[in-house]
Every structure is written in C-alpha cells, then in structure tokens.
C-alpha cells in the first residue's frame, strides 16, 4: 500500500504553549516584509537569549488584513525582560513598530487567542479536537443507533459535496475525473484537513472505480475496539467528492478499518451504473 511508504510526521498547530515553571511570553507582529520580519525577529530573540518555541506566519488576507507573525519565546535562561521586545520593536525590519504582547495566563502558559476567526485559504475553519470529535461521533451513534450511523454518513456526504466545490477554489483547477492532478489534489486537501493519511491507491475513471487507503483516520481512531468498520462520516465525504468527480451516484464501502484492528482503513468507491 502506497500510503504506508510515505514519510510523514505530526504537526502541532496549537497556539497554546504550556511549559511549567518556564518564563514564556508571546508577541504578535504586523508584517510588511515576511522575509525581513522572520530574520529580524529571530535575531532579536537570539540577542535577548530567548529561545523561540513557536512561530507562525499568517499571510495577508484577501480583505486587506496585513500578514501576522506570532512568536512565543522562552526567557527562562535569559537575563533580559520580555518588555525589551516591545522597546526595540522600532529596530526591527519588516514589521510595524506596534507589537502586541501576549501575556502568560499564568506562569508557564501562553495562549495566543488574539487572532480570530481562523481561516484556511478563503474558508473559515473550526479546530475540532479529538475529545470533541469523539463526543460528537460516539454521542450520535449511542443515541440513535443505526440511524445515527446513517446521519453521520449523509452529513459526511454533504460535506464531501461542499469540499468538491472548495477544492477547485483552493487549487484553481476543476475537479474532474480526467484531471492529471485529481489524485494529488484530493489527497492533499483531506490530509491538510486532518482527516487522515489519505492515499488514492487506484483511480479508474472509465470503470468509475476508486480504492483509497487512510492511515491514522481520526474518525476511526476514536472507535478502536469495534467489531466492524467504524467510518461513516469519512465514507460519506468520499461519496460526496466522487459523485461530483464522476457525475453520478456512487457506493462507498469500508473494507478495512483500524477501529477493528486493521493496519489501515480501506475504502472502495464504485460508480453506480445507470439503469
């Protein structure tokens, strides 16, 4: 399976740093020149003997909002005061002098919650962590049983249809079965969304068939110990996307699932033939 050979590693996107008994402080810069900003801010932190533990550059928004650079640094081993960053802001290249400090909630905890709402490209996003997702999925299944599984599938299918419209907007290219980059676009988008390590192992537009493996599916991770395939929401997402790709209804089956002990989840997408 191609997905198992890919090199991948986790990425922490949280703007929360918890370092007990450490002097951590955050700063938000408005950026005029990203390259110069990253270089000058890094040099400033180095001169203050402060270790950068988190840095995030948010590009300029389409609505005219300037780019932002969020930096959280550890001053524990420094003799300098974090306020010096504010005092020396006028020396920095590539940023506006009005730096916004991000004070610790308490010693060792910095939460960068100044930036809101959150976006992925042109779309506003919500970060749904594993605890909340587990509550949603398991809550629906426990309360509604098999009907709950159907609800998850059809909600996923509607999401997949929206994704099928969003992906072309993000990548600037139509989502059609004969597009040479269709596989990579779908894989990249769903991985970026955190759905799992999605790999389209086989795509046959002529037969209307797709085989997909998903490593570390978040949906199925919360259902480990199941006796049967657990994914209904992600299965629905694949249905919504590939119905758009094939221009016809599809059937999606989960033939392998990590929730029941398989190494990966595997999905078979089959185009339904017209009567």
pLDDT in tens, 98-111: 999 999 999 999 99
What is the percent of the chain where pLDDT is above 90? 73
d(CA 18, CA 109): 4
Q: Is 49 or 117 the better-scoring residue by pLDDT?
A: 49
| Stretch among 2-6, 77-81, 226-230, 253-257 having the lowest mean pLDDT | 2-6
pLDDT of residue 63: 64
pLDDT at 142 over 70: yes
CB 257 within 8 A of CB 243: no
H helix intervals, the chain: 34-47, 83-87, 130-144, 146-171, 182-192, 218-221, 233-246
Confidence of residue 275 (pLDDT cuts 50, 70, 90): low
d(CA 197, CA 195): 7
Question: What's domain 16-116's architecture?
Answer: 2-Layer Sandwich (3.30)
CB 255 within 8 A of CB 266: yes
Over residues 47-52, mean pLDDT = 98
pLDDT at 3 over 50: no
d(CA 258, CA 275): 35
pLDDT of residue 123: 84
**Rounded to the nearest 5 degrees, what angle is found at the Cα of 34, between the Cα atoms of 31 and 39?**
110
pLDDT of residue 129: 86
Over residues 252-257, mean pLDDT = 97
Domain covering 127-271 assigned CATH 3.60.15.10 in the classification: no
Over residues 175-181, mean pLDDT = 88
Residue 172 neighbours by CB under 8 Å, 6+ apart? none
Over residues 194-223, mean pLDDT = 94
71 phi and psi, to 5 degrees? Answer: -130, 130
pLDDT of residue 266: 98
pLDDT of residue 254: 98
Over residues 53-82, mean pLDDT = 91
Which residue ranges make up each domain of the chain? 16-116, 127-271
pLDDT of residue 274: 67
pTM: 0.83
**Paired residues of 83 in beta bridges:** none
């Amino acid at each position: 399976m191609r997905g198992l050979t890919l090199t991948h590693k986790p990425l922490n996107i949280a703007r929360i740093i918890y370092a007990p008994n450490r002097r951590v402080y955050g700063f938000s810069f408005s950026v005029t020149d990203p390259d110069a900003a990253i270089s000058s801010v890094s040099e400033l932190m180095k001169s203050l003997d402060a270790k950068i533990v988190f840095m995030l550059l948010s590009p300029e928004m389409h609505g005219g909002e300037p780019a932002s650079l969020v930096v959280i640094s550890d001053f524990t081993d420094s003799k300098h005061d974090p306020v010096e960053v504010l005092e020396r802001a006028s020396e920095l290249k590539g940023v506006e002098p009005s730096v916004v400090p991000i004070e610790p909630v308490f010693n060792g905890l910095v939460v960068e919650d100044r930036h809101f709402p959150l976006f992925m490209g042109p779309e506003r996003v919500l970060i749904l962590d594993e605890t909340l997702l587990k509550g949603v999925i398991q809550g629906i299944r426990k309360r509604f049983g098999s009907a709950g599984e159907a609800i998850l599938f059809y909600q996923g299918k509607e999401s997949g249809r929206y994704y099928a419209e969003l992906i072309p907007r993000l990548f600037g290219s139509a989502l059609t079965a004969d597009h040479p980059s269709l596989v990579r676009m779908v894989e990249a988008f769903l991985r970026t969304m955190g759905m799992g390590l999605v790999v389209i192992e086989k795509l046959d537009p002529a037969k209307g068939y797709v085989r997909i493996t998903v490593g570390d599916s978040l949906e199925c991770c919360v259902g480990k110990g199941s006796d049967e395939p657990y994914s209904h929401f992600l299965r629905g997402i694949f249905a919504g996307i590939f119905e758009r790709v094939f221009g016809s209804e599809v059937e999606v089956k989960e033939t392998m699932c990590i929730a029941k002990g398989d190494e990966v989840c595997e999905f078979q997408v089959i185009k339904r033939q017209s009567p």
